[in-house]
Structure 1
Amino acid sequence: MKKNTLACLAFLSLTLTNKTFAQKADTVDVTNIKFKVEAAPEWSALLKRDSGWFGGDGIYTIPLNGRETGQAKANDKVLFIFSDSMIGAVRDNTTAPGAVMIHNAVAELKGNEPLDKQMKFYWDKNAKGEPESVFIPHTPNTGPTDYYWLGDGFVNQALNNNIYIFGYRVHNVSNEAFGFREVGNTLIKIPTNSKPPYKDLKQMDTPFYLMDKKGESGSFGAGIYVNTKEAGAPKPDGYIYVYGVRGMAKHMMVARVLPKDFENYSKWTFYDGKAWVSDMEQVANVTSSVSNELSFSPLPDGRYALIFQVGGMTTSVGMRIGASPVGPFGPIIKLWDCKPDLTAKTFVVYNAKAHPSLSKPGELLISYNINSVDFLNDLKKYPNLYRPRFIRVKFE
């Protein structure tokens, strides 16, 4: 009887909490906000390079001190993680012979200023001494031709300050529009104090890749919000929120877990639109038209900013205001038109996101990626096309 009574009380408490949570969220204005936006050319210039790493996408930034909210200090280090990256050199306004693409690379920036002397890039080398990806999938579910693109990551202060990064297992296919397909989701764990190229890392398959009845796939790891006191969150509830994206409509999903349980998949719960449930198949779409990489950040006024490329690959950097880590979310607010960066008709824009640890108080520094559908030919003509560009949003 006592166990049943306690269970009922716990259920009632959870129900009341969810109802109160929803009522408070419904009173938040998710439509109106005052801001100014401008280019951040000094940050764009930081990644315009002529040797070593000279191009890439998939940029996420991870403050290595674990303070996700608030600008990094002068002596702090911020880890940059990139997906497909060009390694080699640019000579006479074209790519020099020997340039190669690897599937991911990293860099470390000391401080919070875009100073080339404070930033160092890293990649691995194969047995022949040639550039190689830092992260190569080696899990039980890995196929022979799988490689990694990277999702978001963070420093888990509850688990020995290990770095956790989502790795999407991808392989090339001939019958897909873009020539590749995501086939699985993994966690990459980098031990604290490990140095690139992280020879002591651990990789773990996760169940966080899903396929619905319509054949549309989805995956978690597009963005992470560390809502803990230790990470500097303004309204901490102690959870790690992990955002996922699925389907052609770019629907966004939300999962959460306590930091100490991050590797225990049975402890993860998923937002079904009203409550947190253990069945991932019941996860709701909380908003749509986002991109496969995004960010979720607190705003100075207590609301939240979801930053993304509208619809995945349009020319607009977008923002939705959120009342809480699960919404409700307001309409798309277009922050920036990327068309001036499209030097050629073959150029495309994708995967905008914010970088709070590089942002001054009251601002968000935002990156977006430039690529080409005629990549190899355009790279010869525009050798620095393939790199992130940055803008700065100032909230009033």
Structure 2
Amino acid sequence: MADQKWDKMLVRTSGWLGGDGLYSMPLNGVRRTGGTGKAETFLWFSDTIVGEIEEDSLQPGWEMIHNSVGYLRGNSPDPSKIDFHWGKDEIGKPAAMFHPNTAQAQPGDYYWLGDGFFNHRRDSTLYLFAYRIKKMPGGVYPFEDVGVSLIALPKGSRPPFKNHRQLDTPLFQKDSQGKGKVVFGVAVLANTIGAGAPKPDGYVYVYGVRGIGKELLVARVKDEAFEDFSQWRYWDGNSWNIDIHQAAALTNRVSNEMSVTFLEDGRVLATYQLDTDAPTVMVQAGQTPVGPFQPAKKIFETPEIYNDLDFYTYNAKAHPHLSKPGELLISYNVNSFDFFKDILVHPNHYRSRFIKVKL
């Protein structure tokens, strides 16, 4: 069912007004149901609106930037305990928090953000996967992802993250031997002692999506070797393979952003939006981080698409550490096919919505 308190937490009228993406990480790195303890939650967003709203009307001078971050104190949806941050350009206007600056980055590229990993074994570095995006005017979608980078935030660093690092990765393939595009970083499952995993094996499992069928793939690497891509291995259905092109589909019809989280009994739960942007939120239980997965189960139909507006919903994912025991808090994004018209008159529509399900 919809969770109105979490929904309302992101309704703002000044500064940060909304965004999509929305991944979250407790700053103790323990993504487990039952709360964060005293840890803050770090939130990160992709495309973000910054501006002012008066009488439900977006005022002139608003900006859309490509990513932003936030901090939530505690694990309840209290609007007074969340702060948002973004960058500034050379004249002080709002800008993305993170800009591509790797060797492969090209002028005009920008980042949308994938999932992340809090690495206890590498001095509590927080890693974020970042999709390098290029504008492609004239197409059905005026953008294209062209690479996957890794952003490393040192222990304790805060906005504007002047000391962060960026790495190019081999986790993007434009076409995987005729099987379609491969993009890793859509979900991360840390099966480690530091992350509070129920049966830790010391590996970090990083999930990817392949092709138009939205096949779910998985790679793994020891947490201490996270930046050494020569040590990454890809599940080929029988064993861990050095060849990314041999990755096997665990399931399909998942979303480009999603989550895979542990259940209390050691199984995993994939949470996603069917085909990325269908109005159906799905969950799928697996015996292990590589499956086998049970048949997918529909848990929610997003109501926003059934109003008289041109809205669509996409990229559902779970936030276990913000969930109460026996429940799971799930977010999904809302957008409009006529974005630049609708944002002026429905300026609060472009933000995540939340549902709560019983496990």
Q: Which amino acid aligns with 1:51?
A: S
Structure 1 residue 71: deviation in Å?
3.4
Q: Which residue of 1 aligns with 2:301?
A: 337
Distance 1:253 1:42 in 2: 34
The Cα of 1:340 is off from its aligned counterpart by 4.3
Matching of residue 141 in structure 1 with residue 108 in structure 2:
no
Please report how far the alpha carbon of residue 238 of structure 1 lies from its aligned counterpart in structure 2 after TM superposition.
1.1
Q: Tell me how far 1:177 sits from its aligned partner.
A: 2.1
Return 242-251 or 175-184, whichever deviates more. Answer: 175-184
1:64 aligns with 2:27: yes
Report if the CA contact (8 A) 2:50-2:62 is conserved.
Answer: yes
Which digits, 9 at most, give the CA deviation of each residue in 1:257-299, with x for residues without a partner? 0000000000100000110011111111111000000101122
Which of residues 16, 23, 33 in structure 2 aligns to 1:53?
A: 16
Give, in angstroms, the shift of residue 342 of structure 1: 4.5
Verify: 1:227 aligned to 2:191, yes or no: yes
After superposition, the Cα gap between the structure-2 partners of 1:52 and 1:229, relative to the gap in structure 1 and judged at 3 Å, is same
Q: Which amino acid aligns with 1:226?
A: A
Contact 1:286 1:326 in 2 (8 A): yes
Query: After superposition, what is the alpha-carbon deviation per residue over 1:236-260, rounded to whole angstroms, capped at 9, x for unaligned?
Result: 1111000001111111100000000
- Contact map agreement 1:71 1:112 (CA 8 A) in 2: no
Q: What is the alpha-carbon distance in structure 2 between the residues aligned to residue 306 and residue 118 of structure 1? A: 29
Residues 79-128 of structure 1, C-alpha deviations (whole Å, 9 max, x = no match): 00000000011112111111100000000001101111111100111111
1 CA distance for matches of 2:242 and 2:9? 43
What's the counterpart of residue 29 of structure 1? Answer: none
Displacement, 1:341? 5.5
Question: Aligned residue for 1:243?
Answer: 207
Name the aligned partner's letter for residue 231 of structure 1: A
Runs of 4 or more, structure 1, over 4 Å off, are none
CA RMSD of aligned residues (A): 1.2
Is 1:76 the counterpart of 2:31 in the alignment?
no
Give the SS at the match of 2:122.
Answer: coil
Which letter maps to 2:345?
K
- Contact 1:291–1:308, Cα closer than 8 Å, also in 2: yes
Residue 221 of structure 2 aligns with an amino acid whose one-letter code is V
Post-superposition offset of 1:175? 4.5
| Aligned ranges 1:301-312 → 2 under 5 Å | 301-312=265-276
CA contact (8 A) 1:342 1:348 kept: no
How many Å separate the matches in 2 of 1:215 and 1:179? 23
Structure with more helix by fraction: 1
Structure 2 unmatched runs, 5+: none
Counterpart in 2 of 1:313?
277
Deviation at 1:184, TM superposition (A): 0.4
Equivalence for 2:288: 324
Percent identity reads 44
For 1:344 and 1:79, locate their aligned partners in 2 and report how far apart those are by CA, in whole Å: 35
Measured after TM superposition, the shift of residue 174 of structure 1 is 2.4
Which residue in 1 is equivalent to 2:140?
A: 177
Counterpart position of 2:121: 158
Matched, 1:361 2:344: no
User: In structure 1, the residue corresponding to 2:177 is in which secondary structure?
Assistant: coil
- Distance in 2 of aligned mates of 1:162 and 1:39: 34
Tell me by how many angstroms 1:223 deviates: 0.2
In structure 2, the residue matched to 1:287 is 251
Quick one: distance in 2 between partners of 1:74 and 1:157? 17
Residue 196 (structure 1) aligned to one of 147, 150, 159: 159
User: Cα gap change, 1:261/1:229 in structure 2, threshold over 3 Å: closer, same or farther?
Assistant: same
CA distance in 1, matches of 2:206, 2:313: 24
Residues 312, 335 of structure 2: 8 Å contact kept: yes
* Residue 178 (structure 2) aligns with: 214
Distance, in Å, in 2 between the alignment partners of 1:311 and 1:227 is 27
Q: Which residue identity is paired with 2:14?
A: S
Query: 1: CA distance between counterparts of 2:262 and 2:128?
Result: 21
Alpha-carbon shift at residue 193 of structure 1 (Å): 0.9
Corresponding residue to 1:97 among 60, 66, 69: 60
Using a 3 Å threshold, how does the CA distance of structure 1 residues 284 and 73 change in structure 2: closer, same or farther? closer
CA distance in 1, matches of 2:113, 2:72: 19
What is aligned with 1:112? 75
The verdict on how the C-alpha distance between 1:176 and 1:235 changes in structure 2, with shifts beyond 3 A counting, is farther
Aligned AA (1:284): A
> Is the CA contact 2:47–2:64 (under 8 Å) kept in the aligned structure 1?
yes
**Amino acid corresponding to residue 155 of structure 1 in structure 2:** F
Q: Quick check: 1:267 aligned with 2:245?
A: no
Structure 1 Cα separation of the partners of residues 198 and 357 of structure 2? 20
Kept after mapping to 1: 8 A contact 2:48/2:66: yes
Larger Rg, first or second structure (1 or 2): 1
Could you say if the C-alpha distance between residues 288 and 77 of structure 1 is closer, same or farther in structure 2, counting changes exceeding 3 Å? Answer: same
For residue 121 of structure 2, give the secondary structure of its aligned residue in structure 1. Answer: coil
